[in-house]
Amino acid sequence: MGKTIIVSNRLPVSLQHKNGKFEFKASAGGLATGLGSIYKEGENIWIGWPGNDVEAPEQKQEVTEKLMSLKMAPVFLTKEEVELYYEGFSNDTIWPAFHYFTQYINYEDTYWEAYHRVNRKFCDAILKKADLDDTIWIHDYQLLLLPMMLREKLPDATIAFFQHIPFPSYEIIRMLPWRRELLEGMVGSDLIGFHTYDDMRHFLSAVGRILGLSNESGFIQADNRLVNVDAFPMGIDYDKFAKAAVSKKTQNHVRKFKEMLGEQRLLLTIDRLDYSKGIPQRVKAFEELLEAHPEFHGKVSMIMIVVPSRAKVESYKQLKIEIDTLVGRINSKFSTLNWVPVHYFYRSFPFNELSAFYALSDIALVTPLRDGMNLVCKEFVASKTDKKGVLILSEMAGASKELVDAILVNPNNLEGVKNAIMEALTMDEEEQELRLSSMQQSLKKYDIFQWVKVFMDRLAHVKEKQKELISR
Ligand code: G6P
């Protein structure tokens, strides 16, 4: 048994340059936590981009050494690569296409060439560390070509891929001039995972129609190799959120926030700034509610946390302007000297403050127009240890397939979202408890650690099955 190498575009740390020195802040993200149980063991390692400009050779040396002590290895990207591979092909071509925002897709050959080049760069970085019998688990849409690049060099390695964003219908995939190469890249894996059954189905259909490879119960026969494709809905570190909610640190923040906000019913929204999240639609629904129900003025507020993201990509810049304008419009229309309808924060918050927002809010409004999974809704549910609170969740989020006890809405139907907020504001405590308990039960059971285990067990099973076929 060889070692395990985790690969993702970003490493699970953020690099900060302070007083001429580099510092690393561990990511609090779910994936980082779940995979922590893997890459921190033995000889295992996580390979990825440290996410900041590191150019001078001595700086690269310093960062590499520090990362190695944390069981990580960096892939440094040049400014041009960040522009063309990360902001370009990953987030200006694949991201809009895979989230069904076809109007935002940029079809640039220079993007594609850089994407190919950087996937190759990742491949070379992995080959420096990998042995023939290693297991390599690659994550997400920035690295779709990597599985096949690795397969060509390490034919017997165990290679798995997980896609964290949606996989769109064949009708969208066929729009991309590079569709064949992208699919061939993914098929270099032994196991390919998606969050939902629908994503898996779309992928299998695209592989059938574009590559001409059929499947039998999720098994594709590609070049004498068996590739398994399935849905593995990702969970969260449930206990971490449940425990944090009642911790002293969080409760201190809750007290402080309550003092400042007074007796308000609170609607919480938390997202990265992204057009797939449906932020303007949600703010408009709240505006309509306030328009139609003056009795809520002074009594209900929205806490809207928008985390800066991909700020150099044009579609994201435009969205920022749109949100700023909308929030300005609502607040200027309805605010009084002692009440603001939308508390809008364009920044991220430390973990215990986030935990306090979850614990404090009456309603979470999670209404993406399209989302691979969405973990915010799961974190909200896990934080509601007193079983009081209501989740309003978009049908377009992968999580809606599991959290069927939320109030499910179509995020494009503003009237529907408005009514859902009304329903949530008037839901009796018994029903809140019933709905939350049932969601909590399943989230507790299928947490992030279980997700990692189920995926890894399946990978081992696929390898066994391949061996059986060869020995027959
Ligand atoms: C999504 C993607 C991740 C990505 C994250 C943050 O969750 O699935 O792959 O890392 O967004 O985006 P960023 O562009 O900052 O890495």
392-436 confidence digits (pLDDT tens): 999 999 999 999 999 999 999 999 999 999 999 999 999 999 999
Residue identifier of the C-alpha nearest atom 14 of ligand 1: 310
Residue identifier of the C-alpha nearest atom 16 of ligand 1: 10
| Residue 203 alpha carbon to ligand 1 centre in Å | 20
What local confidence, expressed as pLDDT, does residue 1 receive?
Answer: 75
**Tokens (6 digits) for 198:** 């629908």
What local confidence, expressed as pLDDT, does residue 15 receive?
Answer: 85
Look up residue 41 and give its DSSP letter. S
Task: Answer for the pair 341, 302: CB distance below 8 angstroms, yes or no.
Answer: yes
Nearest CA to 166 out of 206, 135, 137 is that of 206
Task: Answer for the pair 220, 226: CB distance below 8 angstroms, yes or no.
Answer: yes
Q: Which atom of ligand 1 is nearest to the CA of 142?
A: 9
Question: How sure is the predictor about 34, in pLDDT bands with cuts at 50, 70 and 90?
Answer: confident
CA distances from residue 211 to 119, 204, 223 in whole angstroms, order as listed: 21, 10, 12
What local confidence, expressed as pLDDT, does residue 157 receive?
Answer: 94
Task: Answer for the pair 157, 428: CB distance below 8 angstroms, yes or no.
Answer: no
Residue identifier of the C-alpha nearest atom 7 of ligand 1: 164
| Residue 348 alpha carbon to ligand 1 centre in Å | 15
Residue identifier of the C-alpha nearest atom 8 of ligand 1: 164
Burial of 325 (0-12, 13-18, 19+ CB in 10 A): exposed
- Parallel/antiparallel/unpaired status of strands 390-394 and 363-366: parallel
DSSP per-residue codes, 155-216: TTSEEEEE--S----HHHHTTSTTHHHHHHHHTTSSEEEESSHHHHHHHHHHHHHHH---EE
Return the active site residues.
164, 371
The complex's ipTM works out to 0.99
Q: Which atom of ligand 1 is nearest to the CA of 309?
A: 15
What are the two backbone dihedrals, phi and then psi, of residue 16, each rounded to the nearest 5 degrees? -125, 140
Probe residue for ligand 1, chosen from 11, 165, 194, 195 as the CB with the greatest number of ligand atoms within 8 Å:
165
Q: Which atom of ligand 1 is nearest to the CA of 372?
A: 8
Is residue 17 helix, strand or coil? strand
Give the binding-site residues of ligand 1, using a 6 Å CB cut-off: 10, 140, 164-165, 309-310
Nearest CA to 136 out of 156, 157, 115, 120 is that of 157
Residue identifier of the C-alpha nearest atom 15 of ligand 1: 309
Percentage of the chain lying above the pLDDT 70 cut = 100
Probe residue for ligand 1, chosen from 6, 11, 167, 272 as the CB with the greatest number of ligand atoms within 8 Å:
272
Probe residue for ligand 1, chosen from 75, 91, 144, 309 as the CB with the greatest number of ligand atoms within 8 Å:
309
Task: Quote the CA–CA distance of 113 and 59 in Å, as a whole number.
Answer: 27
For residue 55, pLDDT beyond 90: no
Residue type for position 267: L
- Parallel/antiparallel/unpaired status of strands 219-222 and 225-231: antiparallel
**Tokens (6 digits) for 189:** 């894996």
Average pLDDT, the chain: 96
| Residue 426 alpha carbon to ligand 1 centre in Å | 36
Q: Which atom of ligand 1 is nearest to the CA of 90?
A: 14
Q: Which atom of ligand 1 is nearest to the CA of 141?
A: 9
| Residue 162 alpha carbon to ligand 1 centre in Å | 13
pTM reported for the whole predicted model: 0.97
| Residue 419 alpha carbon to ligand 1 centre in Å | 32
Nearest CA to 377 out of 168, 280, 233, 255 is that of 233
What local confidence, expressed as pLDDT, does residue 414 receive?
Answer: 97
Task: Quote the CA–CA distance of 206 and 287 in Å, as a whole number.
Answer: 41
| Residue 275 alpha carbon to ligand 1 centre in Å | 13
Instruction: Read off the pLDDT of residues 160-209 as tens digits, 9 standing for 90 and up.
Output: 999 999 999 999 999 999 999 999 999 999 999 999 999 999 999 999 99
What local confidence, expressed as pLDDT, does residue 115 receive?
Answer: 98
Residue spans of alpha helices (H) in 246-397:
248-261, 279-292, 314-334, 351-360, 376-383
What are the two backbone dihedrals, phi and then psi, of residue 108, each rounded to the nearest 5 degrees? -120, 125
Look up residue 311 and give its DSSP letter. T
Task: Quote the CA–CA distance of 354 and 245 in Å, as a whole number.
Answer: 9
Task: Quote the CA–CA distance of 143 and 120 in Å, as a whole number.
Answer: 9
Probe residue for ligand 1, chosen from 7, 8, 10, 313 as the CB with the greatest number of ligand atoms within 8 Å:
10
| Residue 333 alpha carbon to ligand 1 centre in Å | 35
CA distances from residue 359 to 12, 32, 63, 291 in whole angstroms, order as listed: 26, 23, 37, 28
What local confidence, expressed as pLDDT, does residue 203 receive?
Answer: 98
Task: Quote the CA–CA distance of 405 and 390 in Å, as a whole number.
Answer: 10
Q: What is the dihedral of CA 116, 122, 128, 130, to 10 degrees?
A: -110
Nearest CA to 83 out of 129, 42, 109, 114 is that of 114
Is residue 342 helix, strand or coil? strand
